[in-house]
Structure 1
Amino acid sequence: MKKRVALSWSGGKDACLSLDTLIHNGIEVVCLVTTVPTELGRTFGHGEKLELVKLQGEALEIPVEFITTSFNEYTERFIETIKTLKEKYDLNGIAFGDLYLEDHREWGEKLAVAVGIEALYPLWGEKENSLRMLKEFLYSGYKATVIRVREDVLDETWLGRQLDHTFFDDIQTKDLCPMGESGEYHTFVFDGPLYKKKIVLEDSEIIQLETTKKLEFKKYILQAK
């Protein structure tokens, strides 16, 4: 039986590379799943506007399902929603873009057991492979920009940078995971091989959050390729 999976979707490079890997391995990604804490009203982790995630779904022609939850009920609400999506999309798996953090994988696998489906980790490997993974993204054809940085490791000059070969060289001079696996930086993918349309991002400003800085786009549209 062909695998039909939901993909945990942040909108960044890891999620996008996971999507690409799954599809190229013959796995059908039937929906993208994004959590939205009620305390934020934005996506979990990246703090992105829901409108931008919706545009990614439109560009990829894959439906986006939002899981609205409080931080206190995060796991319970996630399980409840995936059970509902299991019936809606005839799911037999859920995929995550985690690279090597064991506690993240343990959480996802327990969730999958609770729902009665399989947990997939298409990018899973060793921490030492993170630089190779970043290089793989650079050559994948996808386009991403840095939208959020942790102030203890990167300053605001990194915001708005494209993930290109200059970025690849510069990130190696910093004492952090090259893929930002611990939240050192987050990205937004706006174009690439699976995108039927590209997302044009304009009119940006930098906003200050508790321990991070975020690049906010005031204008964003889908554009034919």
Structure 2
Amino acid sequence: MTEDTGTTDDVPAADAAGDGSWVSLFSGGKDSSWALYRALEAGLDVSRLVTVHPEGDSYMYHVPATRLASLAAESIGIPLVEVEPDDFGAEDAEESGAQGDAELRPLEAALGELGSELPGGLAGVTAGAVESEYQTSRIEAMADRLDAEVFAPLWQEDPRELADAMLDAGFEITIIRVAAYGLDEPWLGRTLDREAIAELEELHESHGVHILGEGGEFETLVTDGPHMDRPIELEYETEWDGTRGTLRITDARLGE
């Protein structure tokens, strides 16, 4: 992030990192998982994961399969706080900006409560934003109100380099939703490996698909990685309407 925003992909100074606890904004998808992994690598004291469960489509949050975040948290070994959409107020918002602000309120309230409970208070939050000014500006403003830092290691990094770094680290990533021309039903349940990334690069050239799905073209779930003790095993069926689709998870468990 730029210097004037206060958000950075640089590791916070050791003295700042020791002045409280960190919270990871976590969906179980690849981007938030990578932000968490990088924070743990950097030695930040991540004491909680926080998952928001949106109702329907969301301008602010990763939507599909967020209920599986509890399995991921169990594998990672960090307690999870789940935020329900009781007071999003999105149905009353006429503009996307108003909806985004309404969706942020329950998250900010949850983080405020955590700040009063965690040892040393809330030092900062991790975020998995890559290019979305819409999401990032709101997270920054929220962090400012909470007097917290933001650690965003994916921000404005090269998408292909990020994808390669995730695979090099040992992330196993499953595509659980697609919603873009060029991404058809066989992509559902597909592993995001180097072959898939190469195909996404071609789709980027031909159809403008973002390699990391930053525009909502696809959503993912990290089923295993170096920060997880046990993999997530899935059973599912595909739901496809002819232009977009999602995995309907019929069973999920931690493997050995």
TM-score normalised per structure 2: 0.79
Aligned: 1:196 with 2:229 = yes
Gaps of 5+ in 1: none
Q: Which residue in 2 is equivalent to 1:111? A: 142
The letter of the residue matching 2:28 is G
Cα deviation, 1:23-42, whole Å, max 9, x if unaligned, reads: 111112111111113558xx
Distance 1:157 1:7 in 2: 32
The letter of the residue matching 1:61 is G
TM-score normalised per structure 1: 0.89
**Cα contact 1:39–1:71 (8 A) shared by 2:** no
Question: 1:10: Cα distance to partner?
Answer: 1.4
Question: 1:57: Cα distance to partner?
Answer: 0.6
Cα deviation, 1:112-157, whole Å, max 9, x if unaligned, reads: 111221122122124xx11111111111101111000114341111
4+ aligned runs moved over 6 Å, structure 1: none
**Cα contact 1:37–1:71 (8 A) shared by 2:** no
RMSD: 2.1
Aligned: 1:180 with 2:188 = no
Distance 1:26 1:81 in 2: 24
The letter of the residue matching 2:255 is Q
Match of 1:65 among 81, 86, 89: 81
Task: Report % sequence identity.
Answer: 28
Q: Which has the larger radius of gyration?
A: 2
Cα deviation, 1:149-189, whole Å, max 9, x if unaligned, reads: 11434111111111112112111110211111111111111
Cα deviation, 1:50-89, whole Å, max 9, x if unaligned, reads: 1x21111101111111111225331222211110011222
The letter of the residue matching 1:62 is I
Aligned 1:1-225 pairs, distance under 5 A = 1=15, 2=18, 4-38=21-55, 44-48=61-65, 50=67, 52-69=68-85, 70-72=88-90, 73-89=102-118, 90-126=121-157, 129-175=158-204, 176-202=209-235, 204-208=236-240, 212-224=244-256
Gaps of 5+ in 2: 1-14, 91-101
Distance 1:212 1:48 in 2: 16
Aligned length: 218
Question: 1:210: Cα distance to partner?
Answer: 11
- Structure 2 vs 1, CA of residues 114 and 49 (structure 1 numbering), >3 Å: closer, same or farther? closer
SS at match of 2:111: helix
**Cα contact 1:6–1:95 (8 A) shared by 2:** yes
